[in-house]
Amino acid sequence: MTTNHSPLAPNRFPHMPPIAGVRLATANCGIRYQKRDELMVAVLDQGTAAAGVLTRSLTASAPVLWCREALKGGRARVVVANSGNSNAFTGRAGQQTLDATVDSAILLTGCESHEVFVASTGVIGQPFPSGLIPAQMSNIASGLTAESSGWTRAAAAIMTTDTFPKGATRTAKIGDVTVTINGFAKGSGMIAPDMATMLAFLFTDAAIPAPVLQSLLTDAVDRSFNAITVDGDTSTSDTMLLFATGRANNALPKSADSIELAGFRRALNEVALDLAHQVVRDGEGATKFVKISVTGAKTDSAAKRIALTVANSPLVKTAIAGEDANWGRIVAAVGRSGEQADRDLLRISIGGILIASEGMAVPGYDETPVTRHMKSGNIDVLIEIGLGQGNATVWTCDLTHGYIDINGSYRS
Amino acid sequence: MTTNHSPLAPNRFPHMPPIAGVRLATANCGIRYQKRDELMVAVLDQGTAAAGVLTRSLTASAPVLWCREALKGGRARVVVANSGNSNAFTGRAGQQTLDATVDSAILLTGCESHEVFVASTGVIGQPFPSGLIPAQMSNIASGLTAESSGWTRAAAAIMTTDTFPKGATRTAKIGDVTVTINGFAKGSGMIAPDMATMLAFLFTDAAIPAPVLQSLLTDAVDRSFNAITVDGDTSTSDTMLLFATGRANNALPKSADSIELAGFRRALNEVALDLAHQVVRDGEGATKFVKISVTGAKTDSAAKRIALTVANSPLVKTAIAGEDANWGRIVAAVGRSGEQADRDLLRISIGGILIASEGMAVPGYDETPVTRHMKSGNIDVLIEIGLGQGNATVWTCDLTHGYIDINGSYRS
């Protein structure tokens, strides 16, 4: 694990205002890390609505399976998240650890079991003693705070191979009422199942019914966490949860696309995208933040598939690491995406400069600004398919020696 | 480009016997490499049947599009292959180069245009002067040989980032007649479109009708070149061609599954698999040759998809580079393959030692032989799904700093 911040990290953790109805506490609990907190608990006021998006992995962790059931109730009172051990592929003992954690959260809040959400990240397949989290619940109870400092500590407690804590906040109006959305996340590969995974927790004081909240979250995730990739892998533990305490007392919106939710939707999308970008900026070994836009595909989903194929190509990612505007590798990735493309209609621009069109390199294009762009930390690739109206944008990072260093070293 | 042989290279290029009806010649032609031959021409006797498998890329190179048409005729008289320039994404000028190459091959042999096969590998999107190959055709004509040395030179002439030439040969009986199959190939990523790509040329003196030959080749490719992966990419130029001169005068087989072809099928599969393994052993930066077997999936194709998902996982590949028996990353890759799997039925063995089963690590398994196995050059991973009868085996290599070095350096 590196102790240096990613060169693409933001300057500082944002100031997170309190969210009415949310209190946070953290604790060390002896799972893996000696000198830092590795347990985060959020206690939520009664009446909090819950929504979530979970990994589609068929070997999902015990906490993911638990959350999948709990989400059916649409209500939440407590979130328990830990780093250091993902409680994935831990068999019957792992289930017992999960049960003990849930029981301790019920004791803490007096809630029902389906109001408890659990997320674990860290080493896979390692025994996770069932008493570790319950033993800290009295410390947690005395440490709960609604203050800004609680958010900073919470974001730090869920880190694994992350080199910086990731937070984002926005406000929006619903009718005349100002509401706030805070979120924090961790992850530095889309998967690194023995050390990292993607977790994100979002909280708002807005009053929004659970089905509407779920629809808003699903939409936000499609444009943010489902539009980023570090290494194309998907984890056993990826978990994104959104909680709405309702304490802002706005009028309840009826549907996700209602006009009074326009500002909230935009703010939620921004928080999700901000956090997703921070995950990419902390991509293992990343030195370049890469935006890949595809326009003119047959459909939006075709555009996204093309963009993700390019974003996941090891050859494109190593070329960007080498500051090489290697459009040939981009063409090849488009060609193997499985989506319709026509070599002679394809146009590729890097840093705003058209460098390939009409089935060949643009004769005599000015390489100087392209070379300068490739040396910067933010790389823009535009791929125009020229066949339809489908658009998509995804974000990724380069593939460097740092990635090999982090993932090719022995676990212990 | 490295000048060192891959540590996984075979000891030497095999002795390739002549194949009646096949003559080979090579030449330097000023495309890219100064000090070595970069043009290979095979002239085939009249009556030679042709079969081929070509990249499915939708941005395929001009030579691939040409071969796709030529294969419809099922006959061949000449194969022209060059390294140094892939003639991919070269627009109208690239088409003119292809046409000039075909014309020169027709002049050389007096054949029809659909009996000419062309394959190009090397830099993508670079102008390819149309006169370079035709200018060498008289040298080629005077250099044509049926001798063993011709095979060695041919295999070397098509290399790009390859660190060693790749050849394989087998004999088989069809009825009472002994026939020979020779093959050579190049490739050190499944794709590296600006420097490498996969090409393979197989020749036999057997008499086999083109449709039967095609069926045999398709089947052999599924178990060999379509069961290997270096970086999960697919090139704009991948080309595999099989030619049968008929000079052995065996009785013509009627179908690919006829009993008299059993030995030939086996020999063909062996040549294809031998060459495919050599491509993996020359994988860019490879230090480990990795075999991934999946048994007990719902179907063979499900097994293959699971195996390829594991084989393409950067996290699995970096773990193997780090000599870490990280079965957690294997579990995660199985889970995201999209194929049915049950965490609690899954069994994972490395080097013949069962290390995970029943939803968790095998308690107290002996790590010593597993650690020793991980330090060797040949890694065996067995994944038992436990749901059905579907099996597949794929081969890959590890992901190392060498891959980043080769692919992250500037082209020029």
Segments in A158-287 forming alpha helices (H): 210-222, 262-281
pLDDT tens digit string along B199-208? 999 999 999 9
- DSSP E strand boundaries for A16-130: 22-27, 39-54, 75-82, 116-120
Predicted confidence at residue B197, as pLDDT, reads: 67
Predicted confidence at residue A189, as pLDDT, reads: 56
- Is the pLDDT reported for residue A255 higher than 50? yes
pLDDT bin (cut points 50, 70, 90) of residue A89 is confident
B182 interface with A at CB cutoff 8 Å: no
Optimal mutation site among B288, B360, B362, interface A, most CBs of chain A within 10 A: B360
pLDDT tens digit string along B44-54? 999 999 999 98
Contact A358 B91 (CB under 8 A): yes
Q: How far is CA B357 from CA A61, A129, B299, B346, B392, in A?
A: 15, 20, 21, 6, 20
- Is the pLDDT reported for residue A194 higher than 80? no
Q: Give the residue-averaged pLDDT of A90-108.
A: 94
Contact B407 A191 (CB under 8 A): no
- Higher pLDDT, residue A271 or A124: A271
Optimal mutation site among B305, B308, B329, interface A, most CBs of chain A within 10 A: B329
Burial of A343 (0-12, 13-18, 19+ CB in 10 A): buried
Across all residues in chain B, what is the average pLDDT? 90
A412: its two tokens? 């212990």
Distance CA A66, CA A128 (A): 16
Residue B70 φ/ψ, nearest 5 degrees:
-60, -35
CB A297 within 8 A of CB A303: yes
Chain A: closest CA distance from residue B36 (Å): 25
- Is the pLDDT reported for residue A410 higher than 80? no
Q: How many helices (H) and strands (E) does chain B have?
A: 11, 15
pLDDT tens digit string along B151-160? 999 999 999 8
A16-30, A33-47, A146-160, B55-69: segment of lowest average pLDDT:
B55-69
- Is the pLDDT reported for residue A150 higher than 50? yes
pLDDT tens digit string along B59-110? 788 999 999 999 999 999 999 999 999 888 888 889 999 999 999 999 999 9
Closest by Cβ to A235, choosing from B91, B126, B332: B332
Distance CA A55, CA A235 (A): 7
Contact residues for B11 (Cβ-Cβ < 8 A; gap 6+): none
Predicted confidence at residue B227, as pLDDT, reads: 82
Q: Out of A55, A160, A169, A197, which one is annotated catalytic?
A: A197
Which of the 8 DSSP states describes residue B139? H
Closest by Cβ to B343, choosing from A59, A192, A344: A59
Contact A329 B401 (CB under 8 A): no
Alpha-carbon Rg for chain A in angstroms: 22
B329 interface with A at CB cutoff 8 Å: yes
Q: Give the rounded percent of residues in chain B with a pLDDT score beyond 90.
A: 67
Predicted confidence at residue B364, as pLDDT, reads: 87
CA nearest to B322 within chain A: A408
Distance CA B127, CA A64 (A): 53
Contact B58 A341 (CB under 8 A): yes
B384 interface with A at CB cutoff 8 Å: no
If one counts every other C-beta atom within 10 angstroms of the C-beta of residue B398, the result is: 25
Q: Out of B26, B160, B163, B197, which one is annotated catalytic?
A: B197
- Is the pLDDT reported for residue B138 higher than 90? yes
B249: its two tokens? 């005068």
Predicted confidence at residue A193, as pLDDT, reads: 33
B404 interface with A at CB cutoff 8 Å: yes
pLDDT tens digit string along A225-243? 888 876 655 667 788 999 9
Distance CA A254, CA A251 (A): 9
- Is the pLDDT reported for residue A1 higher than 70? no
B340 interface with A at CB cutoff 8 Å: yes
Predicted confidence at residue A230, as pLDDT, reads: 67
Predicted confidence at residue B383, as pLDDT, reads: 97
Q: Give the residue-averaged pLDDT of B308-322.
A: 90
Q: Give the residue-averaged pLDDT of B301-322.
A: 91
DSSP letters, B339-396, are S---TTT-EEEETTEEEEETTEEPTT--HHHHHHHHTSSEEEEEEE--SSSEEEEEEE
Hey, is A48 helix, strand or coil?
Answer: strand
Q: Give the residue-averaged pLDDT of A121-142.
A: 92
pLDDT tens digit string along B380-395? 999 999 999 999 999 9
A363 interface with B at CB cutoff 8 Å: no
Q: Give the residue-averaged pLDDT of A242-262.
A: 96
On chain A, the residues whose CB falls within 8 A of the CB of B189 are: 315
Q: Give the residue-averaged pLDDT of A84-109.
A: 93
Residue A59 φ/ψ, nearest 5 degrees:
-115, 45
Distance CA A2, CA A284 (A): 10
Please identify which residue in the block is written with the tokens 């836009």.
A293
- Is the pLDDT reported for residue A57 higher than 90? no
Concerning whether B393 is annotated as a catalytic residue, the answer is: no
If one counts every other C-beta atom within 10 angstroms of the C-beta of residue B123, the result is: 24
pLDDT bin (cut points 50, 70, 90) of residue B339 is confident
Predicted confidence at residue A61, as pLDDT, reads: 86
Predicted confidence at residue B195, as pLDDT, reads: 37
On chain B, the residues whose CB falls within 8 A of the CB of A285 are: none
Q: Give the residue-averaged pLDDT of A124-152.
A: 94
CA nearest to A374 within chain B: B410
Pairing state between β A239-244 and A196-204:
parallel
CA nearest to A325 within chain B: B410
Contact A401 B401 (CB under 8 A): yes
Please tell me which of A313-317, B84-88, B166-170, B184-188 the model is most confident about, judged by mean pLDDT: B166-170
Q: Give the residue-averaged pLDDT of A122-129.
A: 85
Q: Give the residue-averaged pLDDT of B148-167.
A: 94
Q: How many helices (H) and strands (E) does chain A have?
A: 11, 15
> Helix B300-312 and helix B327-335: axis angle, to 10°?
130
The pTM is what? 0.81
B124 interface with A at CB cutoff 8 Å: yes
User: Nearest to residue A2, comparing CAs of A206, A241, A250, A287?
Assistant: A287
Predicted confidence at residue A190, as pLDDT, reads: 46
Give the up-direction half-sphere exposure of residue A387: CA atoms within 13 A in the CB hemisphere.
17
pLDDT bin (cut points 50, 70, 90) of residue B410 is very low
- Is the pLDDT reported for residue A289 higher than 70? yes
DSSP letters, A265-314, are HHHHHHHHHHHHHHHHHT-TT---EEEEEEEEESSHHHHHHHHHHHHH-H
- DSSP E strand boundaries for A159-254: 166-174, 177-192, 196-204, 228-229, 239-244
